[in-house]
Structure 1
């Protein structure tokens, strides 16, 4: 392949999702030359391309455990009129959820990085990399004008798939231990013109049909509603052959504008996003499911009689794919026991939330409200490539632990840690394995991140 040009910088971030945004912001804080490449024409990752909104969760009980640059971005989105802050989760699964307008998110994230001096290269897809022993020398990206090399001192993999870690020959894991199957993919979509008052009235009169926080007596008490239920309606529709999706409930969350919701019902099983053409196959099936689900909602659910389909995801939502085999592997025990580590660089409180790879069920191992766990720096480090750090949902963890760390706020916190580590490594002329985690911890705390 002919290379048109070689670009030079200090740090490359591959992927502009929630983790990549924060990684680029942190890496550029000390005036380093940072290039972020993104295959789409916008930032935000699953939240903007797959409509995986609202964001869950920045809190453990009353305590906000994810702040730093993530909170800065949320406040910026609020200022642009695209968010209403953190609101109580009426399902009681997490402490809060954070509705965001995905269009405002794209703009706010872009300006957030450009003002920090990050060079954003949209419509650039990672093709490969050149290695020199245990270091990446440069990556090759493809654009509509051809292929370019980007040379840097260190690299941050924020692809969500561990794509750069994989291409540089590091050992990867996929799916659950017993058979390699991954959680199902879902095609999210937005619906507007929902009669929320009518929905609330039905829920309040049929509480046995719904998963609800025991502390809430009526959905009228919450700022924005979330619904998990309508079990009998789903069963009735399935019996009438109006609902064929492998799902036992309706799940949706209200967004910033009253009456607009994000629907999370679609479920495509037995497909793996990084296997042959299965991502394409899943997208086709997911798009079909959107229209079946929407028609079911209008026909069976009170409050949806005049609902309008606004948008489906540009890309199907991928819950699980590759992850690295790192220096340390985060486990289910670490999460449910609320374990903290000496080298903790991010906190999480989302429960272990496994969508059954083979069926309709959701297996949730809830944490006690207010509990949270730490994620060690070692989970971001691959064993082979010394100038590569991995952030986001591809970090080193088990299938069960993955079901907790995969959500956007945790990925944001991980991204800030990865970018700060890159800044430290650059300034000290060290590899990621050599930097002192105490220095990393201090910098993260100084920039607003919570580590204990």
Structure 2
């Protein structure tokens, strides 16, 4: 028999108000907040943890995957490129893209894709400072738990943090939670990733007077990229169980199991070499694809080299050389909620395309477009696509690729 606790009805205070509320401080959310603030909006960025960057920083997925097509051509620009530069402002940990940043030849750019490895802590602090300089109100330790709707619009987002329960009233909302939580609360149509998520727990370790990144478990490998012979960049199956990433009990189990396997790995290495010492471990469940918006358009990976009139940016397939995609604005909005945009891995794509669009550069592209649109136009049905595209072009975004 199921038992219930009936909570007493209560009023929730409006604690803050803004033009654009960005829920989720991963790369997509950071890009959205930057773009919205640069376009004149009063912005609040809501982040559950106490560090920006999401999986890229707290998860130690410190690989800024390629913004080129593997054929020697840069594909993604705007904030996708700007944040790459910011990530290695104080030096790259590995894979410094010399061919791209120091006038390399076409052959050198083909051999070395435009990607890098960054320090997660420095990158997170630099992003925080950039947002603060733009006047963005960063609200840490705060999680969205519900929304209040007025018809087909979100009036307020209900949050909880150390101060208790309150609400933020915003003209527009950008869901960059990674799990489309705002979409769910607003009862927008969503879809769940069918294949679920494998187990992983990346960590840094110290050995032979150097600190290294260990990609333990599921890892993202770039075809044909020289890994410099570290021996760490391999896909290692550490469990056959897969996780949706959308259940609280399951997520706890996932993290515990991942750390258990990671600890065994560390102890095995340490038994062979006492100098093998863990430095820091991922502090988030390493889930990659969970829940997404079912938008006005759902893009598939078969649509490479396809022209979209409403493109908001170009991206590559980080996994292999050659494919280039234009991203339709319609993937960032749905039919149900008039003032809701999505960014990052929440956008409307098929399961096959999801693996391409969930990564750092694409999150930056979609975040920049969502933030710009929200600041300039408010409700999604008021967006002038040509006007949005003109502004994105002014922000150094490339909208269309000259397919050969």
TM-score by length of 2: 0.84
Alignment equivalent of 1:438, drawn from 379, 383, 386: 386
Which sections of structure 2, spanning at least 5 residues, go unmatched?
1-9, 100-107, 211-220
Q: Does 1:137 align with 2:151?
A: no
Deviations 1:230-254 (A, max 9, x none): xxxxxxxxxxxxxxxxxxxx34xxx
Alignment equivalent of 1:423, drawn from 367, 375, 386: 375
Q: Which residue of 1 aligns with 2:265?
A: 293
Q: Which residue of 2 aligns with 1:200?
A: none
Aligned to 1:10, the other structure's residue is in SS state strand
Distance 2:253 2:334 in 1: 31
Contact 1:158 1:392 in 2 (8 A): yes
Contact 1:11 1:155 in 2 (8 A): yes
Alignment equivalent of 2:366, drawn from 414, 425, 434: 414
Offset at residue 424 of structure 1 (A): 1.8
Q: Which residue of 2 aligns with 1:66?
A: 76
Deviations 1:266-286 (A, max 9, x none): 556322110351111100101
Q: Does 1:86 align with 2:104?
A: no
Aligned to 1:433, the other structure's residue is in SS state helix
Offset at residue 339 of structure 1 (A): 2.3
- The size of the alignment, in residue pairs, is 371
Distance 1:436 1:110 in 2: 31
Offset at residue 3 of structure 1 (A): 2.6
Aligned to 2:16, the other structure's residue is in SS state strand
Offset at residue 67 of structure 1 (A): 2.3
Distance 2:222 2:146 in 1: 47
Alignment CA distance shift 1:406-1:7 (3 Å): same
Contact 2:147 2:185 in 1 (8 A): yes
Aligned to 1:59, the other structure's residue is in SS state coil
Offset at residue 116 of structure 1 (A): 1.0
Q: How do residues 325-404 of structure 1 correspond to structure 2 at under 5 angstroms?
A: 325-334=294-303, 337-351=304-318, 367=320, 369-404=321-356
Distance 2:49 2:330 in 1: 30
TM-score by length of 1: 0.75
Q: Does 1:108 align with 2:108?
A: no
Deviations 1:202-251 (A, max 9, x none): xxxxxxxxx9966x8xx6xx7x556477xxxxxxxxxxxxxxxxxxxx34
Distance 1:116 1:268 in 2: 45
Q: How much is the aligned-residue C-alpha RMSD, in angstroms?
A: 2.8
Alignment CA distance shift 1:342-1:103 (3 Å): same
Q: Does 1:16 align with 2:16?
A: no
Distance 2:257 2:311 in 1: 40
Alignment CA distance shift 1:159-1:86 (3 Å): farther
Alignment CA distance shift 1:292-1:439 (3 Å): same
Q: How do residues 33-44 of structure 1 correspond to structure 2 at under 5 angstroms?
A: 33-44=42-53
Offset at residue 294 of structure 1 (A): 2.9
Distance 2:396 2:240 in 1: 39
Offset at residue 117 of structure 1 (A): 1.2
Q: Which residue of 2 aligns with 1:151?
A: 169
Distance 1:121 1:70 in 2: 23
Aligned to 1:151, the other structure's residue is in SS state strand
Offset at residue 151 of structure 1 (A): 0.6
Contact 2:31 2:371 in 1 (8 A): yes
Contact 2:74 2:114 in 1 (8 A): no
Contact 1:4 1:146 in 2 (8 A): no
Alignment equivalent of 1:319, drawn from 279, 288, 294: 288
Which sections of structure 1, spanning at least 5 residues, go unmatched?
197-210, 230-249, 252-263, 352-365
Q: Does 1:183 align with 2:197?
A: yes
Alignment CA distance shift 1:127-1:60 (3 Å): same
Alignment CA distance shift 1:212-1:171 (3 Å): closer
Offset at residue 31 of structure 1 (A): 2.4
Offset at residue 192 of structure 1 (A): 2.7
Aligned to 1:153, the other structure's residue is in SS state strand
Alignment CA distance shift 1:284-1:444 (3 Å): same
Aligned to 1:64, the other structure's residue is in SS state coil
Contact 2:312 2:399 in 1 (8 A): yes
Offset at residue 96 of structure 1 (A): 3.8
